[in-house]
Amino acid sequence: MSKKTEKQTDLGLRQFIKDLGYLSGGAALLATTPWLQSFTPEKAKEIQSEKARIALIGTGSRGQYHIHNLLPMKHAEIVALCDIYAPNLKEAARLCPKAKKYTDYRKMLESPDIDGVVIATPLNWHAPMVIDALSAGKHVFCEKSMALTMDQCKAIYDASRKTDKVLYFCMQRLFDEKYIKGMQMIHSGLIGDVVGLRCHWFRNHDWRRPVPSAALERQINWRLYRQSSAGLMTELASHQLEVCNWAMHRIPRSVVGLGDIVHWKDGREVYDSVSLTYRYGNGVKITYESLISNKYNGMEDQVLGSKGTMNLATGMYFLEGEDASANSGIEQLLSQIGNKVFAAVPAAGSSWRPETQKAYKPHYIVEGKYHINDGLSMIGAVKDGSDEILSAFCQACITGEKGKDIVEEAYCATMLCLLGNQAMEEQRKIDFPDEYKIPYMKFE
């Protein structure tokens, strides 16, 4: 992607946010997306001549994805790189030849020439690195999910409350235009009362990466082992559960689920197939499913309302009672008979009411061109909000302005993922534990 294209896109979301605020009322927008209050065209003008000095810990595929997003940003400069795996560090250094190279992140954190740190490491390293970086006086941007265990999540949350440094987690849907506008539509009542949520994420990939020697198996294929990974839930479901909470303005009270290793029986320890149900206090439920041995259904984030359905992942919504052909059920039946689809007319059956119409008329959440993430990439998708939230973090490194609710949203989503894993492991219903509740959470 060229520098010109990246800069235009960056300004594009800022202008989109500004226009959205004008159209629907700035107060209403900020009530739905308070983390955007500092990411505006006006705020961008304040940092035109300044650069955030950024260091990266973890220079693998996701780390290099962030590097490619950082390089064109006018308000960011990559000054340091850190990795214990030499091939990745060498490739990152090729992209950033002026950056200093480290193999010990603690040594890197001693540098006074670093403003912010981007962490893109295996999940088990998130908690120690985030806490160490905050303690060293650095602003921090960390990949999702927040941490490997509930205790680690709570420790990070507590640390964030005690520091004046900025902490971001890459919950990129919070900065995706489709989701921002779609949520505003949901909260304005367009699809009526939210009565259910259905999310799924399907791939067909073993999650394995080639290793040069057996000694590096657990280091490179960290996603497959419980000492370093929480599997499909933290790698994929964290984004989608956050979306559900965003739509509901509350947190589920309980979860049940089943997880298995169905297809990839290759020594991995994390499930390759999960199916869960989360229940909110008002009875609304999230049905969540993910597996990595069939990609037919792709990825969808559906919010089901009494008046319509919002599919945020595809950027479309459908209203109840509408039909693309405007034909009633009986008209469709007569057409099918005329076309000899049926050999005979059924003598009895359900009444042919409007709700039996076959097709829904699609409406677009955002007009014009927008990007759809099919969920197949293990690295990242184009314009899924990752570059925008990273840009907002770099801006915050300069201004010191925290992104409102970002830490809390990441905490809630990660905790639900870990509770889901516990429910699958113990094969029982798990209620949200009191000791991990924070004031931000609403359960009723």
Confirm whether 105 is domain-assigned.
Answer: yes
Question: Which range among 282-286, 321-325, 329-333, 383-387 has the greatest average pLDDT?
Answer: 282-286
The whole model's pTM is what?
0.88
CATH of the domain at 87: 3.40.50.720
Confirm whether 37 is domain-assigned.
Answer: yes
Of the chain, the percentage scoring pLDDT greater than 90 comes to 75
Confidence of residue 78 (pLDDT cuts 50, 70, 90): very high
Confirm whether 363 is domain-assigned.
Answer: no
Q: Say whether pLDDT at 145 is over 80.
A: yes
Confirm whether 128 is domain-assigned.
Answer: yes
3-state secondary structure the chain: CCHHHHHHHHHHHHHHHHHHHHHHCHHHHHHHCHHHCCCCHHHHHCCCCCCEEEEEECCCHHHHHHHHHHCCCCCEEEEEEECCCHHHHHHHHHHCCCCEEECCHHHHHCCCCCCEEEECCCHHHHHHHHHHHHHCCCEEEECCCCCCCHHHHHHHHHHHHHCCCCEEECCHHHHCHHHHHHHHHHHCCCCCCEEEEEEEEECECCCCCCCCCHHHHHHHCHHHCCCCCCHHHHHHHHHHHHHHHHHHCCCCCEEEEEEECCCCCCCCCCCCEEEEEEECCCCCEEEEEEECECCCCCEEEEEEECCEEEECCCCEEEECCCCCCCCCHHHHHHHHHHCCCCCCCCCCCCCCCHHHCCCCCEEECCCCCCCCCCCCCCCCCCCCCHHHHHHHHHHHHHHCCCCCCHHHHHHHHHHHHHHHHHHHHHCCCEECCHHHCCCCCCCC
Question: Which range among 103-107, 350-354, 361-365 has the greatest average pLDDT?
Answer: 103-107
Confirm whether 209 is domain-assigned.
Answer: no
* Total domains present in the chain: 1
Confirm whether 387 is domain-assigned.
Answer: yes
Q: Say whether pLDDT at 302 is over 50.
A: yes
Domain span at residue 16? 3-174+383-402
